[in-house]
Amino acid sequence: MGGRDPARAEPIPGVETSTVDLSDAGSLAAFCAGADVVLNCAGPSYRVLDTVARAALEAGAAYVDVAGDVPAHRALGESSGIAVFSAGAMPGLTGLLPRLVTTSGVEVEVHVGGAVPIPPTSAADILLARGPDFGEPGALWRDGVVARHALPPRRRVTVPGFPGTVDAMPFLPVEGIRLAEELRPARLTFRSVYVSEAIPTALAMAWADDPEFLAEHTAALTAAAEADLRTHEAFYVLTARAGDAAVTLRAADPYRLSGVVAALVVRAVLDENVEHGTHFADQVLDARTTAEALRRDPLVDTVTFEGIP
């Protein structure tokens, strides 16, 4: 296990820790040397991009990235080795679990969110996840195309699977678009769920401002999440529904959940169930097998199925 400050790592029996500087090619190469798989959890992903992936592949290792969306995938390009991006909760599970209810011609609704901490690195990634590489706010998939500016926010509503009343903001992610292009539902909507207006307000202020003030808005977004957690117990829910069929996942911590997903991808690589090339996690994991593994994992509260064989 490597990081900028190994002293901060909690001791794990049998695990060696070392200092790794992603801006130092020699340091990164030394860490990757001899590895079978390199799992990257460093961020923000807009800065990491393909840096660790290239070092891993040059060392003859497979590469798994708990984050890394379209920009990182594109920066690496097609690989003769194995590289898997978006191996976390979001992106990752948000593109995978909806496959359990998505078939041709159905109408699918996905809700994801809750009350969770947002550390500075995650806040920076959220703030910079704008534009066609990440998704379309207010959009949905309908009749084979992305319909832009088609959905309004829903404020103080009840959503099955979520406690109390919430705000549900429409945002169609690129992994949702990939899913729809492959499985062809009649309609697909994604909504990000918040327990108050604190985070949506912080995001709106940041996106309306100059990008140079990223640090200022990163702090504001972190503070907004902390404000939510002063009035709500931490929780994270992902639910996908199509008619009478639904899957709902509940966890207390999306970051630990991302760790579980990343571990499942690493296991798939080690078991030689991933072909050579550059992939997204939702393309290489089986949705039902993953859901069952999550249901058994102690870091996941519950995974429930309705109307799914």
pLDDT digits (tens, 9 = 90+) for 260-309: 999 999 999 999 999 999 999 999 999 999 999 999 999 999 999 999 98
> Which 8-state DSSP code applies to residue 98?
G
- Within the chain, all domains assigned CATH 3.40.50.720 are found at 2-88+256-298
Which of the given ranges, 34-48, 203-217, 235-249, has the highest pLDDT on average?
Answer: 235-249
Task: Tell me the pLDDT band of 211, cut-offs 50, 70 and 90.
Answer: low
Fold of the domain spanning 2-88+256-298: Rossmann fold (3.40.50)
Q: How far is CA 72 from the centre of its chain?
A: 14
| pTM of the complete model | 0.93
Range in 54-58, 64-68, 202-206, 304-308 the model is least confident about: 202-206
CATH class as words, domain 93-253: alpha beta
Residue 66 has pLDDT above 70, yes or no: yes
For residues 92-97, give the mean pLDDT: 96
Strands (E), the chain: 2-3, 18-19, 37-40, 62-65, 82-85, 107-115, 135-137, 140-142, 145-147, 154-157, 166-173, 187-194, 235-242, 245-251, 277-280, 302-306
- Within the chain, all domains assigned CATH 3.30.360 are found at 93-253
At 287 the pLDDT is 96
Range in 84-88, 133-137, 286-290, 304-308 the model is least confident about: 133-137
Task: Tell me the pLDDT band of 227, cut-offs 50, 70 and 90.
Answer: very high
Residue 253 near residue 236, CB atoms below 8 Å: yes
At 214 the pLDDT is 77
> Which 8-state DSSP code applies to residue 100?
G
How far apart are alpha carbons 183 and 287 in whole angstroms?
Answer: 13
At 98 the pLDDT is 97
User: b/e for 20-54, b at 16 or more Cβ within 10 A?
Assistant: bebeeeebbebbbeeeebbbbbbbbbbebbbbbbb
Residue 41, CA distances (Å) to 1, 48, 61, 251, 259 in order: 11, 10, 16, 19, 9
What's phi and psi for 113, nearest 5 deg?
150, -160
> Which 8-state DSSP code applies to residue 76?
H
Q: How many CB atoms lie within 10 A of CB 288?
A: 15
Task: Tell me the pLDDT band of 113, cut-offs 50, 70 and 90.
Answer: very high
